[in-house]
Amino acid sequence: MKKLVMLVAILFVLSSAHGYESFSQKKWTLMFYMATDNKMYEHAKQYLNNLTKVGNKDINIIALIDGYENNDTRLYQISDGLVRLAWENESNTGDAKTLEKFCKFAISKYPAEHYALLIISVGPGWQGICPDYRHGYINFPLISIPSLARVLKNVSKIEVVSLVACLQGMIEVAYEISCYADYMVAMESDNAFLDIWPGIDALKNIGNGEDFAKEIVRSYQPKIYHPTYNPIARFFDRLPFKKLNIVTINTSLFAINLSRIKPIVESVDKLSKLMMNESEWKKARMKANEYGKWSPKYKIFYPIYDYLSLEIYAYDCNVDLYDFVSRLENYTSDRNIKKECRSIMDGIEKAIIEGNKIEGDASHGMSIYFPDEARLYNQFILYGKIPYPYEELKFSSDTNWDEFLKTILNGS
């Protein structure tokens, strides 16, 4: 008996020496992966300190944060303060291996009934997430969406995935990870204010996975981004031709039940084939709500776009899927197309379990890649070459959507 007591005491001392708390299981382990070797770093540092105010003794909070300096990667266990844990001084957080290593560490050292992965970074939708800019802004590493799915598969226990990054609320992203998580929280739009969610109050009393995903969304405050802070921008904003007005971004956030994604994808596949011989999609595409406008669609405008972001030059290759098919349903006379449009809308209404948006915003929770120019297909929204093509996504391999895009774009 004395030997057992002594062994327990030794294990406790060793765990304390390494900065670990007791290994007793809690209700939730929240894993914050702050891949902020980019413009999110200052916001992430402030958020990290705010996490010490949560005060929920029934959860573990583990955070890995990387900034834009050398040797500034830090791993913390967070309660009333930040307890630094052992980790290498510099990690490439744009590498999926780093994300997987972090998740496996947190799950093994901080057991819980439920696990959530909360990624804080920037990201160009289906083109990836977590760019690491330590060596520059061209051809930098980032985690591909298929790689993110593989991490979730290998880790296997994550219930809620929250993606704090631009444009991640896409059906392509949701479908890619749908087999390996229960709920996804993301925004269709650009994160124009570099906001970070969930709000601290949302972490003070966490229920089950669905409740947590909903509460993350409820804690978010949607905003309107309209930068007319210089005289030239204000001049263009007064012009009657809307394409010469300054870009307006309505931020929004949605929670998705990933178990309800597959029927939507199957209907998109059917619709893709039906639209090959239909022209009414053009009007629907032209009117549908677009996303990505925080970036220019032509690389030549990158140097001036932050100063003068005109609608005519804005990236517009993602559209709200619900908004598009609802318009197509109205325009077309084809009964089969109407049927699939209705099926997609019904599916989205079931899959979106919580939404928070500006009143009147035509966002419904999931966008889809829909460039309207051939040169914009498989063009990287950020600097450099696209890290991987659209065809690598599971959504592309399982549907005819990419074939539809290539057919219409080659014929335009």
Q: Is residue 233 part of a domain?
A: no
DSSP, collapsed to helix, strand or coil, labels residue 4 as helix
- From CA 112, how far away is CA 116, in angstroms rounded? 10
Helices (H) and strands (E) in the chain, counts: 14, 14
Q: What tokens does 102 get?
A: 């972090």
The DSSP bridge pattern shows strands 183-186 and 253-257 to be: antiparallel
DSSP 8-state symbol, 167? T
- From CA 310, how far away is CA 237, in angstroms rounded? 9
Q: For the chain, first and last CA: distance in Å?
A: 81
Angle of CA points 305, 380, 316, to nearest 5°: 60
- From CA 158, how far away is CA 77, in angstroms rounded? 18
Q: Is residue 85 part of a domain?
A: yes
CATH of the domain at 191: 3.40.50.11970
Burial class (CB in 10 A: 0-12, 13-18, 19+), 25: exposed
Q: Is residue 52 part of a domain?
A: yes
| pLDDT (average), residues 333-345 | 97
* Rounded-to-5 percentages of helix, strand, coil across the chain: 40, 20, 40
Q: In what order do the strands lie in the sheet with 318-320?
A: 290-291, 318-320, 367-369
| pLDDT (average), residues 379-394 | 94
Q: What are phi and psi of 309, to 5 degrees?
A: -95, 90
When the pLDDT of each residue in the chain is averaged and rounded to a whole number, the result is 92
C-beta atoms surrounding 218 within 10 Å:
16
Q: Is residue 142 part of a domain?
A: yes
Amino acid present at 276: M
Residue 340: pLDDT over 70: yes
What residue has token string 């084939």?
Answer: 273
Residue of 8 and 170 predicted with greater confidence: 170
- Residue-wise pLDDT for 30-89, tens only, equals 999 999 999 999 999 999 999 999 999 999 999 999 998 889 999 999 999 999 999 999
- The percent of residues in the chain predicted with pLDDT above 90, rounded, is 83
Identify whether the C-beta of residue 64 lies closer than 8 Å to the C-beta of residue 33.
Answer: yes
- Residue-wise pLDDT for 261-316, tens only, equals 999 999 999 999 999 988 899 999 999 999 999 999 988 888 888 788 999 999 99
Q: Is residue 118 part of a domain?
A: yes
What residue numbers bound the domain in which 70 lies? 24-221
- From CA 130, how far away is CA 92, in angstroms rounded? 10
Identify whether the C-beta of residue 378 lies closer than 8 Å to the C-beta of residue 135.
Answer: no
Q: Is residue 247 part of a domain?
A: no
Q: Is residue 248 part of a domain?
A: no
**CA nearest neighbour of 127 among 407, 406, 404, 391:** 391
Look at the chain and report how many structural domains it folds into.
1
Q: Report the sign of the C-alpha dihedral through residues 222, 224, 229, 233, in that order.
A: positive
DSSP 8-state symbol, 318? E
Amino acid present at 195: D
Q: Is residue 145 part of a domain?
A: yes
